[in-house]
Structure 1
Amino acid sequence: MDTPQRIAGTRSAALRTVTGDLPPTALHGRCDAHDHLFLTSPQLPGQELADPAAAAAELRAFREAGGGTVVQWTPYGMGRRAAELVRLSRESGVRIVAATGLHQAAHYAPEVIARVGGDLAGLFVAELTEGIGGPGGPRAGLVKVAGGFHGLDAHARRTLSAAAEAHHATGAAIGVHLELGTGALDVLDLLCGAAGVPPRRVVLGHLNRSPDTAVHRAAAGAGAYLAFDGPSRTHHATDWRLPETLAELVDAGFGDRILLGGDTTTAAARSVDGGPGMPYVVDGLRRRLVLTLEEAAVERMLTANPARAFATEWRA
């Protein structure tokens, strides 16, 4: 296994995958920076991503399209199937980063929230440092939490605060679901203001769903990473505006803050079931973006940018 590089002689910067830590430079192929191989939610009945064979087929299609790394943002209690991720990564040759964390309360049965208990930060740290499911399991490589719609409710404040504690204990990056792409600055105020998380350790998800370029520039200017994920969803305003949205950010000097992902959340959205799925991010979307942007800029969004965003100076 590659040896993670040393930073300042004390900590190692590494991309924490389900099969072990790797140097940031070992990010393999193009990266889908936000997606799901497995996911279940009461909000998506009958569309569960729960079939290992379908996940394996999706990874094969992703690899054939030029993909090499996928960051699965499925958090605690939503059917991550972490042990399957290890096998699938080894068989496909695709590097997989898994998540700890907690989504919005609506995505859980009440007993699941009750089972988590009061020490969310402790749960997140354990899954980052010991393993998902207990010591010896695959370790998570980021914390995934969620904001609210145009603001932060009590559940969001609780989970974001726990994510900040986990970051300070481990150095892990924090990926944040923004409800319909809103509330980005509220999230940064809590995480990077009150809780003291460096903005470069925050990845803001779903910004494609809210075409507010002023907010995009403000978040990028603060140092956060901006994830434009789920571009195949044509009912979102920026599906057809995505090239010009990204061009504005690149022209403003923020091309190094942009990440691209697919956010495949339903079985029907997988490429093997007729949807765009993971291959679209590294093939169809890439080809579409180079019609507007320089190819080198698009390649950085799929390679160098996620390598920096998800490689962590681990403290434990």
Structure 2
Amino acid sequence: MSTVRTVRTVLGDIAPEELGVCDAHDHLFIRSPQLPGQEVDDPDAAATRLRDFRELGGRTVVQWTPYGMGRRHDVLPRLSREFGVHVVAATGLHQAAHYDADVLRRVGGDLAGLFTAELTEGIAGSAVRAGLIKVAGSFHGLDAHARRTMTAAAAAHHRTGAPIAVHLELGTGALDVLDLLCGELGVAPQSVILGHLGRSPDQVGQRQAAESGAFLAFDGPSRANHWTDWRLPEELAALAEAGFGGQLLLGGDSTTPEAPGMPHLLRRLRPRLELTLGKDLVDRVLTENAARAFAVEWPEPDARPASAA
């Protein structure tokens, strides 16, 4: 069967080069019992963020919100069309703590089937299909829930080719994740995106993760409780100088209403990184790297839709 390498957005499949400037990890919508009263669930606020992002040159947002956390797949296509910004949705499961017990019971035993269906058929019976699988590790390791969800994610990846995006708790546990996904479960490192690496100051661990060939997402700028911004230029420069510039990704990871989010990524963080890394590398990180990270040879590509841009 012939295949075409595309990125699966909420409006359909597009060529990778159409992504343009990409926020590789963010949330237009997300809710969790771990963040009571801090739900990101306002379509008007999402519209404002998308408008500002577009005006700053942004063209794609990859939303890592997985199953059961308020993805709002019913709203995403309208926002994408209205503001001319491509949006990639996620399937998968976060840590167990982010769900009520009845949600975890509802997903049943066939997680791989659920993830595959949302990637190929649509989310909750809709025409909106996910373009990546989001899972999560634990602090400095993997608990039973993480192993279960990553095993299902690997099975869905092998059926579809979809990339697997991993929440690393406080930036830790990357090597455990890689041992499981790429070692035991046979996922190619180039299909794995390690999120939140900048939340741990362990540059040796960052280098070891980079040596695997996985993509490295540095996301969540200006989080007061993680102290990420001040060390980010030097961390990225060290990885680029070691030959890993082609694996770097950047994202806003807006998980609370007050987060500066995707406009901050381009308005403030981008020029700051250019001072250390140079404009050419930052441009490649935001465009070419993201295009390679999220492009997939889907087994049954659809007819090409009209572009969101």
TM-score, normalisation: structure 1 = 0.93
- 1:17-48 per-residue CA deviation (whole Å, 9 max, x = no partner) reads 000101111113x1100000000100111110
* Correspondence list, 1:295-314, <5 A: 295-314=279-298
Q: Give the aligned partner of residue 6 of structure 1.
A: none
2:4 maps to 1:12? yes
2:220–2:261 contact (8 Å) kept in structure 1:
no
Q: Give the aligned partner of residue 94 of structure 1.
A: 85
- 1:95-138 per-residue CA deviation (whole Å, 9 max, x = no partner) reads 0000000000100010000000000000000000000111x420
**For the residues of structure 1 that align with 2:5 and 2:14, how far apart are their CA atoms?**
8
2:278 maps to 1:287? no
2:215–2:248 contact (8 Å) kept in structure 1:
yes
Aligned equivalent of 1:264, options 233, 245, 254: 254
Q: Give the aligned partner of residue 97 of structure 2.
A: 106
**For the residues of structure 2 that align with 1:59 and 1:143, how far apart are their CA atoms?**
22
2:212 maps to 1:225? no
**For the residues of structure 2 that align with 1:239 and 1:89, how far apart are their CA atoms?**
29
2:225 maps to 1:241? no
| Secondary structure in 2 matching 1:279 | helix
Q: Which runs of 5+ in 1 are unaligned?
A: 1-8, 270-275
TM-score, normalisation: structure 2 = 0.95
Q: Which runs of 5+ in 2 are unaligned?
A: 301-309
Please tell me the residue identity of whatever aligns with 1:264. S
More RCO (CA 8 Å, sep 6+):
2
Please tell me the residue identity of whatever aligns with 1:124. F
Please tell me the residue identity of whatever aligns with 2:188. P
* Correspondence list, 1:154-233, <5 A: 154-233=144-223
Please tell me the residue identity of whatever aligns with 2:42. D
1:71–1:96 contact (8 Å) kept in structure 2:
yes
Deviation at residue 60 of structure 1 after TM alignment: 0.4
| Secondary structure in 1 matching 2:112 | helix
2:222–2:228 contact (8 Å) kept in structure 1:
no
1:66–1:283 contact (8 Å) kept in structure 2:
no
Q: Give the aligned partner of residue 31 of structure 2.
A: 40
| Secondary structure in 1 matching 2:124 | coil
| Secondary structure in 2 matching 1:283 | helix
Please tell me the residue identity of whatever aligns with 1:308. R
Aligned equivalent of 1:72, options 48, 52, 63: 63
The two structures, once aligned, show a CA RMSD in angstroms of 1.0
Q: Give the aligned partner of residue 304 of structure 2.
A: none
**For the residues of structure 2 that align with 1:58 and 1:297, how far apart are their CA atoms?**
25
1:31–1:282 contact (8 Å) kept in structure 2:
no
- 1:262-308 per-residue CA deviation (whole Å, 9 max, x = no partner) reads 10001121xxxxxx221111221000001111110011111100000
Please tell me the residue identity of whatever aligns with 1:11. T
- 1:141-179 per-residue CA deviation (whole Å, 9 max, x = no partner) reads 000000010000000000000000000000000000000
Deviation at residue 234 of structure 1 after TM alignment: 3.5
Give me the identity figure in percent: 68
